[in-house]
């Protein structure tokens, strides 16, 4: 539940993986086939000589470098900017606003048209959920976050369960809380429930019911 472009990431990883597989195959072939290795070396030498000729032919007057060098540096700069933008876009979409309702326009005493807007912060829902789970012996910690999703905002509830806790019972409790939250908000919001265990769970005392 975030703004990460998974399709683009998978495409880039797939292309990168295919390139690595191709390079690995060429390396294995060059190491096992002498004729291919000699041909690879000869073609590489000819290609490098051709590149040197192109650089010399496009040399900038009065400078020690060519237009090709400038073009390569420009492409590298553009690639670096795109890479930074791609990294910055990973994991985005988090917001501190859970819901927003625009009221119907009305007329004030001065005769002007007004319209009110009501916003519900994520902290409000978080405090309500944490307060409702405060007395639950199966829950060690609760984290509530909201994210921008298609069509509005969604809620992510993360629970750290005590050792031996029943995920089914915890899910049922959270379902009741989410239904009550939907009633208060006047709309159904997407909710992601995550029940996890960690170091605190392993060292916590197990609750036993006689």
pLDDT range class, residue 92, cuts 50, 70, 90: low
Q: Is the predicted pLDDT of residue 5 greater than 70, yes or no?
A: no
pTM for this predicted structure: 0.50
pLDDT range class, residue 110, cuts 50, 70, 90: low
Domains of the chain, by residue range, sit at 6-88, 116-203
Q: Is residue 146 within 8 Å of residue 95, measured between CB atoms?
A: yes
Burial 7-16 (b: 16+ CB within 10 A, else e): eeeeeeeeee
Q: Is residue 163 within 8 Å of residue 206, measured between CB atoms?
A: yes
Q: Is the predicted pLDDT of residue 19 greater than 60, yes or no?
A: yes
Q: What is the largest CA-CA distance in the chain?
A: 93
| 155: three-class secondary structure by DSSP | strand
Q: Give the domain 116-203 fold.
A: Alpha-Beta Plaits (3.30.70)
């Amino acid at each position: 539940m975030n703004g990460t472009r998974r399709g683009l990431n998978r495409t880039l990883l797939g292309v990168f993986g295919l390139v690595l597989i191709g390079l690995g195959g060429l390396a294995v072939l060059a190491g096992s086939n002498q004729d291919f290795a000699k041909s690879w070396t000869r073609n590489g030498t000819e290609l490098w000589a051709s590149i040197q000729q192109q650089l010399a032919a496009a040399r900038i007057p009065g400078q020690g470098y060519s237009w090709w060098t400038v073009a390569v540096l420009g492409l590298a700069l553009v690639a670096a900017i795109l890479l930074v933008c791609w990294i910055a876009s990973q994991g985005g979409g988090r917001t501190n606003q859970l819901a927003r309702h625009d009221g119907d326009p009305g007329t004030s005493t001065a005769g002007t048209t007004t319209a009110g807007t009501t916003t519900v912060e994520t902290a409000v829902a978080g405090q309500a959920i944490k307060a409702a789970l405060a007395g639950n012996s199966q829950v060690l910690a609760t984290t509530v976050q909201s994210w921008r999703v298609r069509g509005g905002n969604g809620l992510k509830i993360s629970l750290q369960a005590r050792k031996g806790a029943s995920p089914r019972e915890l899910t049922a409790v959270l379902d009741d809380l989410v239904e009550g939250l939907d009633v208060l908000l006047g709309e159904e919001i997407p909710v992601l429930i995550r029940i996890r265990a960690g170091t605190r769970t392993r060292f916590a005392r197990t609750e036993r019911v006689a």
